[in-house]
Amino acid sequence: MHANKHTAIPVSDSIARLHYNPIVISSMRRDTVSLVCRWSPMFFIALVFLGSPLPASGAETATPLFPVEGVPAGWLVRDWADVGKAADPEAIWEVKDGVLHGSLKRGTWLVSEKEYGDFVLEYEFKLGPQGNSGCGLRFPLAGDPAFDGLEMQMADPRYYGDYKAPPAELTGALYKALAPKGAQYQPEAWNTCTITCKGSRITIVLNGKTVTDVDLDSKTRELERGTPLKERPRRGHIGFQELSRGGGHVMIRNARITELAG
């Protein structure tokens, strides 16, 4: 066999005949290996490993938020208007068949014991006809997450009845602070949501469409309630709100968080 000639050998044969000292692989197809210069069996093994993807050291991985059935561990049930106060003991959030159900007693937050800084939060949610919930971001364990941290609003428009809610109070908004770019909420269906918090930038993707992409540092306007967005915390708790009417409650599934390197 000459180094300047290409000879095609079936894969099964080429592996079985490594003792012949075949030569470096220049291309690989489904059923053939083209060989162009001499190599050793150890080189073949190294080539296989080098061609396989390996996890990077310190790679960021997603952590499920509610992996176990029953009352979620590592979470607190707090009052909806002030998370510094405990909620009614009868207000229970529970995971059933992999789905987190909001408390049947409305007016609560489910708050993480852990604090987060930069992260990607992914989940699916479903609301009833009078559903009202929210996702709290980087808030302290006191006050109202919507005004002392951030809240991405999750509400069915029918919740408001005759009240014509402004865009900044609709799903995908940073509640009463920043309206979403278009309406992507799907009533009484599973909606997918991805929220990325990285430094001062907040990005919200709802059902595959980016509805919010904002640099908080650029938002210095005084608001009806709470400090300007520029002054909101860059680290804090996360959580989900239950404020639905009509006996319904929010349902959340496939929730996971990936912490990002600073």
pLDDT, tens digit, 9 for 90 and up, residues 33-48: 333 333 344 433 333 3
In a domain, 86, yes or no: yes
Assess whether pLDDT exceeds 90 at residue 1.
no
Residue 140 and residue 199 share a domain: yes
pTM of the model: 0.78
Judged by average pLDDT, the poorest of 36-45, 75-84, 152-161, 197-206 is 36-45
Separation CA 81–CA 107 (nearest Å): 8
The predicted pLDDT at position 248 comes to 87
Q: What's the average model confidence in pLDDT over 65-75?
A: 98
Looking at per-residue confidence, does 90 or 31 come out higher? 90
Segment among 49-63, 96-110, 197-211, 243-257 with least mean pLDDT: 49-63
- Predicted confidence at residue 217, as pLDDT, reads 98
Are 80 and 177 within one domain?
Answer: yes
Which residue stretches of 102-221 are H helix? Answer: 145-148
Task: Report residue 31: phi and psi, to 5°.
Answer: -120, 5
Q: Residues 35, 134: one domain?
A: no
Contact 110, 130 (CB under 8 A): no
State the Cα–Cα distance between residues 99 and 206, nearest whole angstrom: 19
Domain membership of residue 57 (yes or no) is no
| For residue 202, pLDDT beyond 70 | yes
Does residue 134 register a pLDDT over 90? Answer: yes
Q: What CATH number does residue 73 fall under? A: 2.60.120.560
Same-domain check for residues 179 and 68: yes
pLDDT at 91 over 70: yes
* Average pLDDT taken over every residue of the chain: 83
**Domain-ending residue, one of 30, 50, 70:** 50
Q: How far is CA 126 from CA 15, 86, 196, 212, 238, in A?
A: 53, 25, 20, 20, 19
* pLDDT band, very low/low/confident/very high, at 246 (cuts 50, 70, 90): confident
State whether 103 and 206 are in the same domain. Answer: yes
How far, in Å, CA of 134 to CA of 3, rounded? 67
Among candidates 21, 30, 20, 28, which has minimal Cα distance to 48?
Answer: 28
55 within some domain: no
The per-residue pLDDT for 36 is: 33
pLDDT tens-digit map of 139-155: 999 999 999 999 999 99
**How many domains is the chain partitioned into structurally?**
2
Q: Are strands 99-101 and 108-112 parallel, antiparallel or unpaired?
A: unpaired
Taking residues 102-120, report their average pLDDT.
97
Domain identity same for 23 and 118: no
Sign of CA dihedral 157, 231, 65, 261: positive
Q: Which two tokens stand for residue 148?
A: 């002392």
Going by pLDDT thresholds of 50, 70 and 90, the confidence category of residue 59 is: low
Is 56 inside a domain boundary? no
Give the confidence band of 247 by pLDDT, cuts at 50, 70, 90. Answer: confident
Domain check: are 172 and 115 in the same one?
A: yes
Residues 207, 124: one domain? Answer: yes
- What is the per-residue pLDDT for 32? 36
Domain containing 37 equals: 7-50
Residues in Cβ contact with 61 at an 8 Å cutoff, skipping those fewer than 6 apart = 258
Q: Is residue 165 domain-shared with residue 255, that is, in the same domain?
A: yes
* CA–CA distance, 100 with 149 (Å, rounded to integer): 23
Closest CA to 160 of 92, 221, 85, 246: 246
Token couple for 9: 């050998």
Instruction: Examine the pLDDT at 190 and tell me if it is beyond 70.
Output: yes
Q: Identify the residue with better confidence: 54 or 242.
A: 242
